[in-house]
Amino acid sequence: FMAVTTFAMLFATNDFVILACSFLTGGIFATWFAFIFSIPKEELKEATTQIVTWAMSTFWVCTFVLATINSQLIGWSVDLTGGFTVGLTYVFALMVISPVVALIIFPKEIVKEEPRTK
């Protein structure tokens, strides 16, 4: 849904549509922040405050380094082509590729099946 509101915001000509889509995009983007802090505690066995802090710090450093690089690439593509098409295509490709890469990189939880008894 966030991709739809982002593309609608960028290609719309009506100011109200642009404003509404920007609020929706920002609201949707902010909703996952509340849940992300509990992930290291749930996933890491016997996690201490130091381990969770280290995991979250590493996550945010990597996130903002990648965001900075991507912002520069998108800005460069806008300067090079004079439009947003290449930059938006790149963002859309990242949105499609990122979950696939995450499935490959992140560890899987092994679920053991219980023997079935009748």
Look up residue 89 and give its two tokens.
């295509």
pLDDT at residue 83 is higher than 70: yes
Q: Is 108 strand, coil or helix?
A: coil
pLDDT tens digits, residue range 27-58?
887 776 656 666 666 777 777 888 878 888 88
Residues 92-112, buried b or exposed e (16+ Cβ, 10 A)? eeeeeeeeeeeeeeeeeeeee
With vertex at residue 91, the alpha carbon angle to CA 85 and CA 95, rounded to the nearest 5 degrees, is 140
pTM: 0.54
Proportion of the chain above pLDDT 70, given as a percent: 81
Residue 27, number of CB atoms within 10 A of its CB: 11
pLDDT tens digits, residue range 71-81?
999 999 999 99
